[in-house]
């Protein structure tokens, strides 16, 4: 009888570990897909830095979906493998979903965008930042710069997200550009200028 108990205890412990819930943080960008592992009878919470606006799922008949502030609660109604897309103010999150009846599952998933990467000494080779100022008349910020590359793409980021309201005015003969943008008042994240030219990305803290 003693031998049976000694062999049985590790098996019970192994079963508990296989079926336990997990809390994970997922760092992703718009070019990558995340993964969600769910189990029947258990709810999974998706937590975002920004407020989610809309969810598109491969087969919505297999899930109960609820929105609570920056969280989305998913409860599976059947065993299925599908995909899911969450639309926020600044970006779209794509995920592959796997629902099973046993095994590990995600209890809480916190989604964080990948941080912008800083590059090295060739940062200012293609352009010169002149000044940034606030235009009270139009209630916008203005960034002035000179650029030797006409095909460069300039975009203002606040933290890891591109600012929604921004546009650029070029003066080709003077090789100058003005970027007009509205900073999000609710955000305290720092501003960055992202420059893309011929596949090369440069990043400048403003």
Q: Which pLDDT belongs to residue 115? A: 59
Strand partners, 105: 21
Where is the domain boundary, 113, 138, 172? Answer: 113
Task: Note the pLDDT tens digit of each residue in 55-76.
Answer: 999 888 999 999 999 999 999 9
Q: Which pLDDT belongs to residue 144? A: 85
Q: Are 173 and 132 in contact (CB under 8 A)?
A: no
Structure tokens at 95: 């995920």
Alpha helices in the chain (DSSP H): 2-18
Task: Note the pLDDT tens digit of each residue in 1-11.
Answer: 444 443 444 43
Task: Note the pLDDT tens digit of each residue in 73-127.
Answer: 999 999 999 999 998 876 788 889 999 998 889 999 998 766 555 443 344 456 7
Is 90 exceeded by the pLDDT of residue 175? no
| 136 and 97 belong to one structural domain | no
pTM over 0.75: no
Residue 199 lies in a domain: yes
Structure tokens at 163: 């600012």
Of the pLDDT bands very low, low, confident and very high (cuts 50, 70, 90), residue 198 is low
Among 56-60, 64-68, 177-181, 186-190, the minimum mean pLDDT is found in: 186-190
| 101 and 133 belong to one structural domain | no
Task: Note the pLDDT tens digit of each residue in 11-42.
Answer: 333 333 445 778 898 877 666 788 899 999 99
Where is the domain boundary, 80, 113, 146? Answer: 113
> Residue 114: which of 197, 53, 44, 31 has the closest Cα?
31
| 156 and 79 belong to one structural domain | no
Q: How many domains does the chain have?
A: 2
- CATH no. for residue 54? 2.60.40.1550
How many beta carbons lie within 10 A of that of residue 30, not counting itself? Answer: 11
């Amino acid at each position: 009888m003693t031998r049976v108990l000694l062999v049985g205890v590790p098996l019970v412990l192994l079963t508990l570990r296989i079926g336990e819930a997990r809390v994970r943080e997922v760092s992703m960008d718009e070019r990558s897909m995340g993964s969600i592992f769910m189990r029947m009878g258990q709810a999974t919470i998706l937590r975002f830095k920004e407020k989610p606006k809309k969810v598109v799922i491969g087969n919505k008949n297999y899930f109960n979906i609820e929105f609570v502030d920056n969280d989305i609660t998913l409860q599976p109604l059947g065993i299925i493998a599908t995909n899911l897309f969450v639309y926020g103010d600044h970006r779209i999150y794509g995920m592959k979903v796997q629902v099973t009846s046993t095994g590990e599952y995600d209890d809480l998933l916190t989604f964080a965008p990948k941080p912008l990467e800083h590059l090295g000494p060739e940062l200012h080779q293609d352009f010169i930042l002149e000044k940034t100022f606030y235009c009270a008349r139009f209630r916008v910020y203005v960034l002035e710069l000179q650029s030797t590359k006409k095909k460069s793409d300039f975009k203002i980021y606040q933290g890891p997200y591109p600012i929604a309201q921004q546009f650029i005015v070029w003066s080709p003969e003077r090789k100058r550009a003005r970027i007009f943008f509205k900073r999000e008042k609710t955000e305290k994240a720092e501003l960055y200028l992202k420059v893309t030219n011929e596949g090369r990305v440069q990043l400048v803290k403003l």
